[in-house]
Structure 1
Amino acid sequence: MSLTPTSYRRVTSISITRPPIKVLPTITHDWHDLGVLVAGGGIILGYEARLRFNGRSYPSNPTVPPATRLKDPAGKQVIGEEAGWMPKPAP
């Protein structure tokens, strides 16, 4: 979400990710890159993917380019158990 003068605007919707979600120290187009866990659904060995802001949004699918596998998992976890916030399971 991006803050506007009166509310927030959705920047992107990212599919097939799992916690943890991290804000990475690297920056693209003045926005921090994101690190997301990709696992399940046929992906046997989960991995972290780097999502870079393209000036308008982040990639919506972390399993295909322009998303890339993250080699250095450093970053600040913002969603997940360590961050104190976990999404609720779907009903």
Structure 2
Amino acid sequence: MTDAQIKCINKREHHNPHERITHIGGYPAEGGGNWKWTLEHAIDEIEAGRWRFYVSVGGQSVWVIVAIRNGRKYLKTQNDGDEPNNLLSLPECP
């Protein structure tokens, strides 16, 4: 399993925070090149157990998990409750 820090996101303008993120990006914890994946690809990799993602919040690592709301899968951090605010607060990916 590979751990990777999410450093940026792309989002579309949408009123529902669970449907806003379209892409995540960053770099593997072991180094390597930058990456940018669709939300669907990231969810598939998490569910297959091949990748784990985290974000840095106040200097602490917080794991990203797959959640389901209204039948749709989305990503959020473990401590975000029902809103994916830690991810939505990341800068836009190039």
Asked whether the two chains share a fold, i.e. TM above 0.5, the reply is no
Q: TM-score, normalised by structure 2?
A: 0.31
Q: TM-score, normalised by structure 1?
A: 0.32
